[in-house]
Structure 1
């Protein structure tokens, strides 16, 4: 299971990314659109863990700027081991500061997160597919490059664990 602190994107960027998801699905490439009964929406995860309890996370992050209004530039495509395909978010000073502050607060509250999401190791990204079939990788890359660049504005943050029906909004 995966729980995350997700930053959501403005309507225009969300539509563009959902259009990409649907184009990939039409090519036979599974995306977040079809994962877990279509509960996912385009996002940037600041934190991920096996489990995050929403109330302690909300308490730890109370009154912290979670980046609402922050501009994100999705400018490149990447792949993690395991055929995870994503759009890369340019790591600006403002984004890295929000990320660092969130992790400091969670650490002070004793909330454990996965190491590869910690400052200094985190790769800011918007996941497109969790398992691109090897024969379709070139097609997936081409489709992703067709949609880039995408400029987005952060509109909200949420502690989310779709497998356990958790979607706890931290901002409006």
Structure 2
């Protein structure tokens, strides 16, 4: 199980990434679109752990603002060990400062997160697929490069744990903790 603090993208960037997901799915490459009953939406994760208490995270981050409409630029594709394919977010001072502030508050609240999401280790990215078949990786990377560069604006945030039906908004109305 994975829980994460997810930053959500503007409508245009979300549409473009969902189009990429559909294209890859049609070509036999599983993406986040089909994972866990279509619960995922395009996002950049600031922190992840096996479990995150959404109310504790919300309390720790109360009053922290990312600034008005934090801009992102996705300019490259990459992969992590384990067949994970992603769009790489170019790290900016503003993004890294926000990431650092989030982690300082989480640490002060005693909220543990995975080491590879901490400042100095984090690779900002938007996951496309978590299990690209090896023979299709080169094709999938080329397909990702077709949508780049992609400019996006952060429009919201949530603590999400899709396997446990948690989608807890951190930036406005909370329609549900599913």
- Does the 8 Å CA contact 1:66/1:102 hold for their aligned counterparts? no
Using the alignment, how far apart are the partners of 2:66 and 2:81 within structure 1?
Answer: 29
Alignment-derived partner of residue 87 in structure 1: 87
Unaligned 5+ residue runs, structure 1? none
In the TM superposition, 1:74-153 aligns within 5 A as 74-153=74-153
- TM-score, normalised to structure 1, is 0.99
Alignment-derived partner of residue 155 in structure 2: 155
1:66 Cα deviation (Å)?
3.5
Alignment-derived partner of residue 21 in structure 1: 21
Q: Hey, which bits of structure 1, 4+ residues long, moved more than 2 A?
A: none
Residues 19-52 of structure 1 deviation map (CA, whole Å, 9 limit, x = unaligned): 0000000110000000000000000000000000
1:68 Cα deviation (Å)?
5.3
- Does the 8 Å CA contact 1:67/1:95 hold for their aligned counterparts? no
Please state whether the residue corresponding to 2:29 is helix, strand or coil: coil
Unaligned 5+ residue runs, structure 2? 173-178
1:67 Cα deviation (Å)?
5.0
Please state whether the residue corresponding to 1:33 is helix, strand or coil: helix
Using the alignment, how far apart are the partners of 1:114 and 1:79 within structure 2?
Answer: 18
Using the alignment, how far apart are the partners of 2:17 and 2:67 within structure 1?
Answer: 20
Size of the aligned set, in residue pairs, is: 172
Residues 124-150 of structure 1 deviation map (CA, whole Å, 9 limit, x = unaligned): 000000010011011101100001110
Using the alignment, how far apart are the partners of 1:100 and 1:112 within structure 2?
Answer: 14
